[in-house]
Amino acid sequence: QVQLTESGGGSVQAGGSLRLSCAASGYISPTICMAWFRQRPGKERELLARIYPQLGTTFYLNSVKDRFTISRDNTENTLFLQMNNLIPEDTAMYYCALQRNGGSCSTREIDFGTWGQGTQVAVSS
């Protein structure tokens, strides 16, 4: 089974940027949806962004839509999340995830069966 490993988290000041990476241990078909989730302190995990690599179609949570960009390097089987203009409310553990089945992308966490261990992002004011 493919394993996912996130990196790129850290501590930044408000207004700063970070680029998260999610490396897959093996090949992932471009017909499989990939996503970034986050879990803020005391909150449930939420879907931030997802991408259907074959078509390049994306979806974003409204609160990050104009600040975050999801992308995938298909040759390297790596998923990215470029995060700009970070705010303290972005402080969270960030996870990448792989949908269980191919086809259209889901918004439901339960439909994502492979997860990374997470990378911590802390934004100070």
CB-based contact 94:22 (threshold 8 Å): no
pLDDT tens sequence for the chain (125 residues): 899 999 999 999 999 999 999 999 999 988 999 999 999 999 999 999 999 988 889 999 999 999 999 999 877 789 999 999 999 999 999 999 999 988 789 989 999 999 999 999 999 99
Strand segments (E) across the chain: 4-7, 10-13, 18-24, 34-39, 46-52, 57-60, 68-73, 78-83, 92-99, 112-115, 119-124
What are the distances in angstroms from CA 114 to CA 2, 35, 98, 124?
Answer: 8, 10, 5, 30
